[in-house]
Structure 1
Amino acid sequence: MKKSELRQQQIKRLKKYVNFQDKKQEDSQLLEKFLGLKIVKDSQTFGVTASLPMEVDTSELIARLWDQGKEVYLAKARTDQEHTLDFLHYTYKSKLVRSKFGVEEIAEDDHTEINNELDVVLVPGLAFALDSHVRLGFGGGYYDRFLAKYQRQTVSLANKVMQFRQANWPVEKTDVPVQTIVTTEKIY
């Protein structure tokens, strides 16, 4: 199946799943499993994307990281020639704006600290292959370009709709696998 076809299929499946109580429960379970990871306990700086409703909810995760005294950096798409990401320091005082992708990002501010050398980056996606750890993103390549240069810990949270035993889509050499995939049943 082509990536674009699976991407559209996954978006429909995930939007439908938003309406089920299972999603909220699964998001909570994934959050608890993530917070229980040794790499989370041993890390101080975290890169996160503000989630869309169809994704695993990151709002509670961000609040819990703050409660633990951790630093959170929110992803912001760079629309220059590189089409990659920067992670901007995010606090409860940060002003957010909706990007052209519909994702909340920190508003432009000359005083916002950028940190692209984070201890852990939480990588979003539409689908995750549990055997190879490759992911299907939204198609812009922003995360893959960032991850190609990033050398630290990457983690993804995958609900049951996002999980595939193996990639049912073409995997390209520019697709960067995540190191750890957290599901409600197991950590891969």
Structure 2
Amino acid sequence: MTKERARANGLAMSRRTMLGGALGTTVAIPATALAYQGGVAREPIGLPSPVFAEPEASAEPEASAEPDPIHSLPFVRDRAPAECRPGMPRRIFWAVEPSGDYLADCETGDHFAHLAMSFMVEQKFPGLLNCVVFDMMRAGPERSGIEVGFLSVFARHSMVGKYVSDELSPQHGRCRS
């Protein structure tokens, strides 16, 4: 890169950066990094890392063609940028709207729990349950049939899992007196 081209791009090159270019690396330093003393530009001040004048590719990761599988769950959503506040996670793992019909909401929660279990197995993500329960707590003390149905399914499956585990290995997991 020549000095003229660097200046045209708003970059400043010193003897040091020119030498770097001669050694096989072309380094450009933004003009804003120049040290000014008494209105006269001096040697560029040191930057933590060089700014390469001609980047090979964008630093931004390309958008994935496939959507995030977590969005297949009807109770998970991402906050819109306007909704985000400091300290708030972008993803909400428990975004539900009760219908007001307790029994219908229990069935909805039951359905959501089965979807969650399938997702946890398919994606090898058992931590989903933690995320959901933490978001239930974050939402406040109000509970509907959706939460009751959801947690009831997990409780029943936990009981079956414990029973099967005890039958397969009687001494495993039992308290000793």
Between structures 1 and 2, the one with greater strand share: 1
User: What TM-score do the two structures reach when normalised by structure 2?
Assistant: 0.23
Question: Higher RCO, 1 or 2 (CA under 8 Å, sep at least 6)?
Answer: 1
User: What TM-score do the two structures reach when normalised by structure 1?
Assistant: 0.22
Specify the structure having the higher radius of gyration (Cα).
Answer: 2
